[in-house]
Chain A
Amino acid sequence: MILIQIILVLAFLLLILGFLKRQGSHQLSALAKIFMMLFAAAAIFVILFPDSSNSVAHFVGVGRGADLLLYLLTMSFIFVVLSSYLARKQDQRRFAMLARQVALLEAKIRNKADDTKTTGQ
C-alpha cells in the first residue's frame, strides 16, 4: 500500500466515525445514513483498487476514472452550492419574520408608554 492510500482510508474512517458519533443530534433520514455508508465504502474501495474506477468509467463511456470522478465532483459541488443557497434564503425568511415580530412588539410597547404618558398628565 502506498502512503496516500493509507492517509485517504484513515481520513474516510475518521469521517465515518465522526458521522456515527454525531447521529444523536443529527436528524438524518435512514436513507441518507445508508447512502453515506455506501458512499464511504465505495470511496475506500476505489482508494484501495484505483483501477476499479476506470472500469466503471469505461462502462458509462468515460475515458478515465479520474475524469468520471471530476464530473461527479462538479455535479455534487453545484448541488451543494444550490442547496446551501436555498437554505440561506429560507433562513433569511425566518429571520425576517422574527425581526418583524420584534419590531412590532417594540412599537406596541412604545405606544403603550405614550398612552400612559398622556393619561398621566
Chain B
Amino acid sequence: MRRDTYIIIPVYNEEKVIVSVVKKVLKNFSNVVCINDGSTDSSAAEILKTEAHLVNHPVNMGQGAAIQTGIEYALQDKNIKYFVTFDADGQHSLADVEAMLKYIKEHQVDIVLGSRFLGSAQNLTGFRKFILKLAVKFSNFTTGLKLTDAHNGLRVFNRKVAENLHITMPDMAHASEIIHRIAEHNFRYKEVPVTITYTDYSKAKGQSAINAVNITFDILLQKVIKK
C-alpha cells in the first residue's frame, strides 16, 4: 500500500465501469479520490460503494476542472508526496503508474507524463493517431518542450507541481494547459511509455476531432490575453 500517493480520478457518467476501475486501483493505493463531475447517471452512488473518497461537483464543469478539484482535495493531506491523474474508463494500466512512481522517486524530476507514442497504444485508429500527432506538433511549437504525446491523461507529479498547476481550462484543453505550466515554471519533466487500451467503451466516450479546433482556439486566445 502506498500512503504517500493520491490517485485522482475525474468521473463523468461512468456508472458501468467506475466500481471495477476504482477497486483495482484500491488494491495498490489507499488514497483514491473520485471527482464526480456532475454526472447524470448513478456514478456518485457507485463510487460510494467503494472505499474511494468522493467529491461531487454541483454541476458539470469539465475534466480539467475536476482534476483541479482532485488536486486541491489531495493537497489537504500533508503526507501526500505524489499525485496521479488517472482516467475513469479503465484505459490506463496500474503497472504503468507503478513504473512512473518508481521513476519520479529515483530521478530528479517534478512530473512524469505518459506517452502513447513511446509505448504501445492498442487499437489506436489512423485518424485518431493523426489528430494526436498534430496536437503534439502544435503543443511543442508553442511551449518549446519536446514531447511525443500532448494529451495523455496519465501523469505523476510531486507537491510542487500540484501546488502550481492551477488548471483553469474546464474542458480537454487542460492537457495543453498543464504542458504550458511545465514550460512556465521550468518543471523537470520526463515522458515514459505507457500502454493505453482503447476499448470500445473508451473510444465511444473519446473526444471528437472537431473538439481539437475548440481547444486550439482557447489556447491561442489565452496566449493573446496573457501577452
Residues of chain A at the chain B interface (Cβ within 8 Å): 86, 92-93, 96, 99-100, 102-104, 106-107, 110-111
Contact = CB atoms under 8 A, between A and B. Distances in A.
B168 A93 contact: yes
28 contacts: A86-B225, A93-B168, A96-B61, A96-B65, A96-B168, A96-B170, A99-B57, A99-B59, A99-B61, A99-B65, A100-B57, A100-B65, A100-B69, A100-B72, A102-B58, A103-B35, A103-B55, A103-B56, A103-B57, A103-B69, A104-B69, A104-B73, A107-B53, A107-B55, A107-B56, A107-B73, A110-B54, A111-B53
B31 interface: no
A111 B57 CA distance: 16
Q: Is the interface of A mostly helix, strand, loop or mixed?
A: helix
Interface string B186-227: 000000000000000000000000000000000000000100
A113 to B, nearest CB: 12
Contacts of A100: 57, 61, 65, 68-69, 72
Interface string B62-87: 00010011001100000000000000
Contacts of A86: 225
A111 to B, nearest CB: 7
B54 A107 contact: yes
Contacts of A96: 61, 65, 68, 168, 170
